[in-house]
Amino acid sequence: MKIERYLRNITFWHMMIGILSMATGVTYGLFQVLARAGIYDYGIFTYGTKLYYQGLTLHGVLNAIVFTTFFIVGFLYIVTEVSLKRKLNRGLVYLSFWTMVVGTLLAAWAIFTNRATVLYTFYPPLQAHPAFYIGATLLIVGSWIAILNTVITHLKWRKENPGKLTPPPMVAVHATYAVWFLATLGVAIEVLFFLIPWSMGWVKSINPELARTLFWWFGHPLVYFWLLPAYLAWYFLLPRIAGGKLYSEPMARVVFIMFILFSLPVGTHHQFSDPGISNTWKAVQAFLTFMVAVPSLLTAFNLAASLEYAGRVRGGNGLFGWIKTLPWRDYRFAGMVGPMIVFIFGGISGIVNASYNVNQVVHNTSWIPGHFHMTVGTASAMTFLTLSYILMEKLFGKRPWSKKLATLHAYLWVVGVLIFAWGMMQLGRAGIPRRTHLGLSPYMNLEEKILMGIAAVGGVLMFTSFLIYFINFLVTVFKKPDVSEAEIEKVDLEFTDAYHKENENLPRYLDNFTIWLAIAVFLLIVTYGPIFYDVFRSTYAVPNAFSPFNPLNLIK
Amino acid sequence: MRWDFIDEYEAWALKISLGLVLVFFVAVIGIAVLKGIDVPTCVTDFKPFDKGELVQIGPREYQLKLLGRMWAFQPNEVVVPVGSKVTIYTTSIDVQHGFEIEGKAVNLMTIPGAVNKAEVVFNRPGEYRFVCNEFCGIGHQSMYGVIKVLPEAEYEKWKQEHGM
Ligand code: HEM
Ligand SMILES: [Cu+2]
Ligand SMILES: [Cu+2]
């Protein structure tokens, strides 16, 4: 199918803004591990500790919000056009892009000038410059425009193709956007009704616990927004790259629908340690959090079966023989299966976090960044970087400058992140907090310093791996295409075939997204209703606003 | 509901996954109920305060009003005899903080406009470090304190020395 030049270019810019953000973000990541290990204390910068937390804000915002959002929106445009074979609305694509860019620039200005050193969770009463909140809002609104565009395109496709099932990759696109839209409603309420009026000085007080609750309504589903596009790639691109087929299409669909249902009513598992919410409702959300582990377990089954199939097609036999015959040297395979393997550990450590009272041992300790660098930091981020190579090839006919370096980058990251996460998680079990410039902490003992040193080794390897990727990617961008212009025109993502394909047997309700959205909203209301009731009856708004640099209240 | 759109193995994967998470959930809640190791709940009978202190409320029973502020806990040194049961109430007068005791399942968000609560028993003498685990500004990394749990005799001596 022919994808217009404009869309290929704009997708490139989505990708490029994401990757440049990440390059900046991981540079601060390197500084963080070094500072926490007491090796390097921002000597060449004069800000001292200010820079640690300013850098950490940049690290969180650029890696986890800007990189992911831009990359995902760009990637899903291509998936939408290729799988539906239908054009998106060009005007909306531009509108969305520029809204997101302006938002990002506003927020970036505030952070870089040290006016928003509040970390990416921006908990009040720490107060940032209004530009930070307005920028974040615009970034989100921009992504909503992309959702609108996608939904309109799908509805038109429905009209033109009566009775046809939505193609499975498109189901994944919808799941991603459904989760994102419902999630961002929470943070939009927080920012528009509370944070912006308060940071502009129009209102004097703020209820910090209410703000937290609204934030985590958004904060957990956010992780599925990061993860589902990676799942999309693992389900619908990887099996073919491995030389086989997806084991089951209907199962993939069930999985994505389960994510629409259970991604949202679980945000309170980030608030097990909070006041103002009764433990009954915390337990209910703990239960639903376990439910949302189910689709991930099913994914493990389906993908393992797909890879086994591929391995056997390639001549592997016996119980484990198929593993050996898989294309481990292929950069696309390494760059997706590597993150998948790391994600197993990410998932297991996540079950620990989700386990209600067990969470008391790890909440806000270094365990948590240990955990999520294996999820968003690897499963999502590394899969996206692999996709960036694939997109350069599909959209511009440019194969990676060096496939060997691309493979090396994938494995080096896996080794680095496992060391990093191990160190951080041990540190967390010792009770050492996260979000802390440990190099300056008076309470670290020798054993803890050594553990942080080990984590730092992992961090340096991760950074090295990123550097290899970055150079390889830039050279790829600037090199000449490997195929003719006519060849490039016919963009095809080469979605995989399936072993169990969907057929007319599939119950129609599985292709009706309105039903699932309605149930998701229902679950959201039922689980969050009592929580907001608790928050309102037991917490108060306070006349507080603070700069992170000064313990004096800004509100007189 | 018809399930024939997925095959037998897939149905098994689904059942095993569901079974697994149910077992986990029952185990976790079972321990919360049977052993009393629970997460904090909604506190409505205690108003936010602006002064932290340790108050003895019975034999080996204490109430610790713990105040978070930029960038120190009040009080940041707490001394109790071994075997004490301490009920902790915590809030903040400025920004959000966290309060976590090393080696104990006590991990509370310390939030302005809300009161958080936990109960903890110290059966072994020793020094228990507690740290702030939520970013609270530029001095966050040095916000910590210690709970000293003293053997009976030593505690009596400490009391005399401090004129209590
Ligand atoms: C070179 C690679 C990286 C290194 C060395 C690194 C290092 C770190 C460290 C040490 C922390 C904890 C800081 C603290 O709690 O005091 C952290 C936090 C974080 N990292 Fe990374 N990281 C890297 C890459 C990434 C990537 C790729 C992502 C996501 C796409 C990511 C997302 C985050 C987030 C969201 C936080 C939490 C920030 C916060 O607590 O406010 N990191 N990183
Ligand atoms: Cu979560
Ligand atoms: Cu703090």
Minimal-distance CA residue of chain B relative to A530: B42
Tell me the pTM.
Answer: 0.95
* Residue numbers in B near A546 (CB within 8 A): 70, 94-95, 137
Angstrom distance (rounded) from CA A270 to CA A368 = 11
Ligand 2 centre and the CA of A270: distance in Å? 6
For the residues A223-234, what does the mean pLDDT come to? 96
Per-residue pLDDT at A498: 87
pLDDT at position B128 over 50: yes
CB A134 within 8 A of CB A196: yes
Interface test with B, best of A255, A256, A273, A292 (most B CBs within 10 A): A273
Per-residue pLDDT at A47: 52
Angstrom distance (rounded) from CA A386 to CA A337 = 11
Query: pLDDT tens digit string along A298-314?
Result: 999 999 999 999 999 99
CA distance B79 to chain A (A): 18
Minimal-distance CA residue of chain A relative to B100: A431
pLDDT class for A45, splitting at 50, 70, 90? low
CB within 6 Å of ligand 1 — which residues? A 26, 29-30, 32-33, 36, 56, 59-60, 63-64, 67, 119-120, 369, 373, 376-377, 381, 434-436, 459, 462-463, 466
Q: Which residue has the tokens 């033109």?
A: A160
Q: Which of B98, B52, B137, B92 is nearest to A272 (CA)?
A: B98
Domain ranges of chain A: 327-479
Which are the contacts of B155, defined by CB distance < 8 A and separation ≥ 6? B79, B80, B81, B82
A373 annotated active-site: yes
Architecture of the domain defined by B53-161 = Sandwich (2.60)
Closest-CA residue, ligand 1 atom 33, reads: A60
In this complex, the residue of B5, B22, B133 whose CB is nearest that of residue A365 is B133
Query: pLDDT tens digit string along A536-552?
Result: 999 999 999 999 999 99
CB B73 within 8 A of CB B55: no
For the residues A407-425, what does the mean pLDDT come to? 97
A220 annotated active-site: yes
Query: pLDDT tens digit string along A175-220?
Result: 999 999 999 999 999 999 999 999 999 999 999 999 999 999 999 9
Ligand 2 centre and the CA of A266: distance in Å? 7
ipTM of the complex: 0.93
pLDDT class for A46, splitting at 50, 70, 90? very low
> What's the gap between Cα A380 and its chain centre?
6
Share of chain A above pLDDT 90, in %: 86
Plot region of A57 (φ>0 → left; ψ -120 to 50 → alpha; else → beta): alpha
* Residue numbers in A near B106 (CB within 8 A): 360
CA distance B103 to chain A (A): 7
> What's the gap between Cα A330 and its chain centre?
25
3-state secondary structure of B108: strand
pLDDT at position A144 over 50: yes
Per-residue pLDDT at A486: 83
Domain ranges of chain B: 1-38, 53-161
pLDDT at position A93 over 60: yes
A371 annotated active-site: yes
Which range (A380-384, A426-430, A486-490) has the least confidence? Answer: A486-490
User: Ligand 1 pocket check: which of A32, A67, A117 to mutate, most ligand atoms within 8 Å of Cβ?
Assistant: A32
CB A116 within 8 A of CB A132: yes
Query: pLDDT tens digit string along A433-492?
Result: 999 999 989 999 999 999 999 999 999 999 999 999 999 999 999 999 998 888 888 878
- What DSSP designation does A134 have? H
A269 touches chain B (CB under 8 A): no
A92 touches chain B (CB under 8 A): no
Angstrom distance (rounded) from CA A529 to CA A549 = 37
Per-residue pLDDT at A379: 96
Average pLDDT, chain A: 93
A434 annotated active-site: yes
